[in-house]
Amino acid sequence: MLPESYDAIVLGAGGAGLHCAAIAGQRGRHILVIDHANEPGKKILISGGGRCNFTNLGTTPDRFLSANPHFARSALARYTPADFIALVERHRIAWHEKTLGQLFCDGSARQIVAMLMDECAAGSVDLAFGNAITDVTHADARFRVTFGNRTATAPALVIATGGPSIPKIGATDFAYAIARHFRLKLVEPRPALVPLTLGVDELLFKSLSGVSAEVVVRCGKAAFREAALFTHRGLSGPAMLQISSYWRHSQAIDVDFLPDRAPGWLKDAKRARPRTTLQKLLGAALPERLAEVLASRLGLESELANITDARLLAAEQALAAWCFHPSGTEGFAKAEVTAGGISTAELSSKTLESVKLPGLYVIGEAMDVTGWLGGYNFQWAWASGWAAGQAI
C-alpha cells in the first residue's frame, strides 16, 4: 500500500496535539493525528476532578519550571488565557473561576475534548486512533510513521505524546524514545505535582491521615500558601503538590503552620492567658489532631505560665518552619505531570521546531516546560500547540 502523504503528522491526541492539529488544519494544512489510545484527550477527561481546570488567569512565565526559565515566554505571550477563553465561549461552554485564577467548566471536561474535536473537524484533520506506532523514520526531508497496517509521510512531525505520568490511562515515555532516536537532548524526567512520602522518623504525622490545614510550604526559593493534606503515606494537598515540583531527593521542606501569626505571639499569649496550653492555642487555629501532634512533638504540654519565654520563642520558630524530610514521592503512578523531558535547548521558542532537525516539533508536556498546579499545564499545551500549529 502506498504511504499516505500529509503536510504534517501529529503524534498524540491530547490537549497540545489536538489544538496544534486544529490550528494548522484551519490554516489549510493537511494534517494527520495518530494516537495509540482509542479515544482522544484522556487526561483532559480526568482533569480538574472531571471539570478540567483549562487555564489560569495568572499565567506568567515564572509559573513554569524549565532548565531555561525564559523558554516558555514567547509561546505564552502569543496565545494567552484570553485566547483560549474566547474559544471556549465560541463553543458556548459555561465556565467559572474557582480560586487563584483557576478556570473550570461548569459542566464536564468532555466539553473541552468535544470542542477540540470540532475544531479539528473544521480543519479537516484526519484522525487515527487505537493503533500502536511501530516505526518513525526520517529520510529525504520527510518523516515516515508506521502505525497499524498504515504508513504516512510528511515534511513535518510534531511530538505531542506527553509525559509518562499516570501510565494506567495510556501515558508513555514514547516522546523520549523518539527524541533519543533523533538525538535530541533530554532533561532527566521526574514526577511533579505529586504527593511526597515521609520516612519512619516522621511516622507520628501519618496518624494524621485525612487532616488538612492551610500552610505556607517552602523549598529553596519556592514558597506556596495553600492547603496541605496529611495522608497515610506522607504529604499531599495543593501546597505539597506544588512544592513537589521543586523538591529534589535529600532536600528538606519547611512548613509554616501559622503563617498569619506575628513574631512574639506565644509570649503575648502567655501574658494574656497563662493557664492555657499550647495545644489549646494551636487547636483554635488548626485541626485538633494536628494541634495535639505538634504540641506533643514540641514537648510543651504544660500551662504556658510554666514554660520559659525562650522555649516559647523556640516553639514559635519551629511552628513557622517545621522541617520535613520527604523520603521520596509517590512516583509517576500518582504524578499529575512530568517535569523535565525533551530539552528546550535545541528548540525554537517561537515555533517549537528542532534546531538540529528542521521539520521536527515538540509541544506540550513532552518537553522540559512544567507549569504550577491550577490550569497552567493546559495553558502550556494550548500555547505551545498554537505556536507549532502556526509553523507547520
Ligand X SMILES: Cc1cc2nc3c(=O)[nH]c(=O)nc-3n(C[C@H](O)[C@H](O)[C@H](O)COP(=O)(O)OP(=O)(O)OC[C@H]3O[C@@H](n4cnc5c(N)ncnc54)[C@H](O)[C@@H]3O)c2cc1C
Q: How many CB atoms lie within 10 A of CB 100?
A: 15
Taking CB under 6 A as the criterion, the residue among 48, 191, 340, 389 binding ligand X is: 48
Can residue 37 be called a binding residue for ligand X (CB under 6 A)? yes
Q: Determine, following the binding rule CB under 6 A, whether residue 353 of this chain makes contact with ligand X.
A: no
Lookup: cell for 79: 496565545
Distance between CA 369 and CA 177 in Å, rounded?
A: 18
Binding piece for ligand X, criterion CB under 6 A, among 44-52, 230-238, 267-275, 288-296 = 44-52
CB closer to ligand X, 160 vs 291: 160
Note whether 14 binds ligand X by CB under 6 A.
yes
CA angle, corner 378, sides to 116 and 382, nearest 5? 55
113 to 142, contacts with ligand X by CB under 6 A? 133
Q: Which of 119, 226, 336, 368 contacts ligand X by CB under 6 A?
A: 336
Give the interface segment with ligand X, choosing from 47-55, 194-202, 287-295, 301-309 (CB under 6 A).
47-55
Residue 191 binds ligand X (CB under 6 A): no
Among 189, 234, 341, 364, binds ligand X (CB under 6 A): 364
- Our finding on whether 316 is near ligand X (CB under 6 A) is no
Of 8, 9, 47, 123, the one binding ligand X by CB under 6 A:
47
53 near ligand X, judged by CB under 6 A:
yes
353 grid coordinates: 521546531
- The stretch near ligand X (CB under 6 A) out of 23-31, 74-82, 244-252, 372-380 is 372-380
In the chain, count H helices and then E strands.
Answer: 13, 23
DSSP label at residue 300: -
CB 336, CB 192: distance < 8 Å: yes
- Cβ 233 to ligand X shortest distance, Å: 17
Which range, of 37-45, 70-78, 120-128, 151-159, touches ligand X by CB under 6 A?
Answer: 37-45
Q: How far is the CB of 173 from ligand X (least distance, A)?
A: 8
Helix (H) or strand (E) holding 382, with range, is: helix 376-391
At position 39, the amino acid (one-letter code) is E
CA 184, CA 182: separation in Å to the nearest integer?
Answer: 6
Burial of 262-276, coded b for 16+ CB within 10 Å and e otherwise, reads eeebbbebbeeeeee
| Complex with ligand X: residue 37 or 222, whichever CB lies closer | 37
Interacting stretch for ligand X, rule CB under 6 A, among 69-77, 134-142, 166-174, 197-205? 166-174
Reported as half-sphere exposure (CB side, CA atoms, 13 A), residue 310 has a value of: 0
- Residue 42 interacts with ligand X (CB under 6 A): yes or no: yes
The SS3 assignment for 361 reads strand
Among 9, 10, 23, 52, binds ligand X (CB under 6 A): 52
User: Which listed range, 9-17, 73-81, 149-157, 207-215, lies at the site for ligand X (CB under 6 A)?
Assistant: 9-17
With b for 16 or more beta-carbon neighbours within 10 A and e for fewer, the 192-203 pattern comes to: bbbbbbbeeebe
Q: Which residues pair with 218 in a beta bridge?
A: 223, 254
Give 123 or 364: the residue with its C-beta nearer to ligand X.
Answer: 364
For residue 145, the 8-state DSSP code is E
Provide the 10 A C-beta neighbour count for residue 97: 12
Least Cα distance to 381 among 79, 10, 73, 128 occurs for: 79
In the 8-state DSSP scheme, what is residue 201? G
Cβ closest to ligand X, residue 166 vs residue 208: 166
Q: What CA–CA distance (Å, rounded) separates 165 from 339?
A: 10
Rounded to whole angstroms, the Cα distance separating 347 from 352 reads: 5
Nearer to ligand X by Cβ, of 15 and 389: the residue is 15
Min. distance of Cβ 264 from ligand X in angstroms?
41
Binding to ligand X (CB under 6 A) within 143-162 occurs at 160-162
For the sheet containing 150-154, what is the strand order?
A: 4-5, 150-154, 142-147, 133-139
Binding site for ligand X (CB under 6 A): 11-17, 35-37, 42-43, 46-48, 52-53, 133, 160-162, 165-166, 170-172, 174, 336-337, 364-366, 375-378, 381
